Structure 1
Amino acid sequence: MVEVTGTAQRAAWQQKVLPPVEQVRPGLWSIPVPMAGSPLRYVLVYALALPDGVALVDAGWPTDDAWTALVDGLGECGYAITDVRAVLITHWHADHLGLAGTVREASGAWVGMHPLDAAAVKGRGGGDRRAWVEGLSTWVRARGGSADDVTETVVMVADSRGMRALAEPDRLIDDGDLPLGPGSVRAVWTPGHTAGHLCFLDEGQRLLLAGDHVLPRISPNITLHPGQSTDPLGDFLESLTRTGSLPVDEVLPAHEYRFAGLPDRVTALHEHHAARLAEVTTLLAAAPESTTWELAAQLTWSRPWPQVQGMIRRSAVGETYAHLAHLARLGAVARMDGEVDRWRLA
């Protein structure tokens, strides 16, 4: 059974407001950092007390409002931004890594992440908007997207949000590492949402700082992008199974609210993806030679497809593509030859 433990966080989520800064355990705080314009609303940054300052798990979206919330939140915990000694990054996405460079400049803190996500940041081109747009536009067209789809899901998103360079790490963190030293959190490699996604396990307090790997209400987006594993969904399902056996009483996710009942949540996520794989197969049986884009438009989402727009639509197509790639690895479907995805039952 999944039990909500972050009751103030859930109440704030339901009221669509920012939750409070909370002391979760002695020496451990959650700090909500807003994400303007995102349905996720905020990132929960975690502050861990150190003998000579504080470490952060994730940093937040790179905006002025987010920076103010992070600095003020640290103040509520009794720290200044200059007290930050380390920033542990669960994964390279901008809502988690975005402010890490600014924190480093203000405090001298080191930034650490998994080698595979460090490579993803390096391959992103340091905020080169043109290269980013060209690469994603090619990806959208290969999935069966039209010229209008490219404009709406890539170009307009880039224009509205802008491109910012993301911080490259000072240190690499591998599975099993103790980045803050003995007796502190242990890194757990959980690929899927990104190739180098990390959770951080506090074995003494039986807590899992889960990033986007396990969330209380939704499944993290699993997308197949160039440079990733050929089966990120398979990676995710395998790492989910490993995560479910960890000695954890409470999960501290990066979005929404804290919860208990990790094994049951893992089971629910497995069931969700099994149902999605079955839905994809059923659609493909009814409409052979469909493109990834066409299949995505027919799948069941949390809102009608015409309301799934911009970056969210691109993410939905990416998730459909990841499910198709997993089915292809299992031998259930096959991609037909051609520049644009077309799929058939195998």
Structure 2
Amino acid sequence: MLRLVFTTLWLCLVASPASALTVGAEQPARYLPLLKNKNVALVVNQTSRVQQTHLVDYLLQQQINVVNVMAPEHGFRGQQGAGEHIADNTDAKTGLPITSLYGATKKPTARMLRGVDVIVFDIQDVGARFYTYISTLHYVLEAAAQQAIPVIVLDRPNPNGRFVDGPVREAAFSSFVGVDPLPVLHGMTVGELALMIQGENWIEQAQSLALTIIDITDYQRDMPYALPYAPSPNLPNATAIRLYPSLCFFEATSVSIGRGTDLPFQVAGHSKVRLGSLTLTPTSRPQAAAPKLAGQQVWYKDLRHSTMQGLDLSLFIETYQQFMQANETFFTAPAFMDKLAGTDKLRKAIEQGQSINAIRATWQTDLEHFRKAREPYLLYP
């Protein structure tokens, strides 16, 4: 039932993707010859589709020997909530083993890859460094390099690809929401990131990796692209995906951004500090088992018609100031805030009352260095 409701909600709220482009998975003539007579492992989730058919089912129909499916955060079917432990299991439809890359280990082990000849990575990303699918990509590439297994990345557009912004992750704040030294918004596709991860030697034995990118045809990074499938349970529509980079920092605060309601990543609210006039009560749901402020009436600011895009700090700083005036705790997880930002400078600047312009100025030099470093790996205009 959850899957049916989730899919229906997504299809009702999102427009069709640009028809001119063709994603990597929908160019089988380019990758099927590389998989014939090979033992294939897939890193996929619910977004891994060839038209309306899941990539797993499609490859099996093409007589490709799929031997293992590896699942990222949210699981193979994309139904688990953020941070929820993903266990190994078996796919009921195909009988294939599903091994978790968001459970006991986040990097494929030698046991997972025993007998594998090639790995295919096909997961839709949303363009923010702290969205963990690209962290999974990093560890898949590293494991493949260390075990001499080729990787094929089937590329997909970045719905926030127009933006390059935010602090570049500092080494001291490395975590699974910031494995590589990327800004909050990197403006790259998964395929481009894979090339950069290898080219910049961000993984061990990078130069021994055999990497193939099946690029998107007729794609430009500023092209509007509405995803045909929700990338995760709490990003149910294009509005949530647009607001996600600006709202994710609230995860480290006492503010609810709508988990446990019908409007995840489309509102910001609190039970004591009235941020808006919309009232909702977060409740435990399959995609949000323990939402912030569960069971409490929360006064939300409705952001569904907001013009916020890219990395917009105005609401975050305004809300911090409201909490200070109300003598309420704002940063409930400051260490996590620093991991999301990739630095402690952002949090400290907000606490010091610095202006948005002053704060944004602090990361411009690092951002310019990143822009130059990424140039050799860009595949799209």
Give the TM-score range, shorter chain: 0.3 to 0.5
More helix by share: 1
Q: TM-score, normalised by structure 2?
A: 0.33
More strand by share: 1
Q: TM-score, normalised by structure 1?
A: 0.35
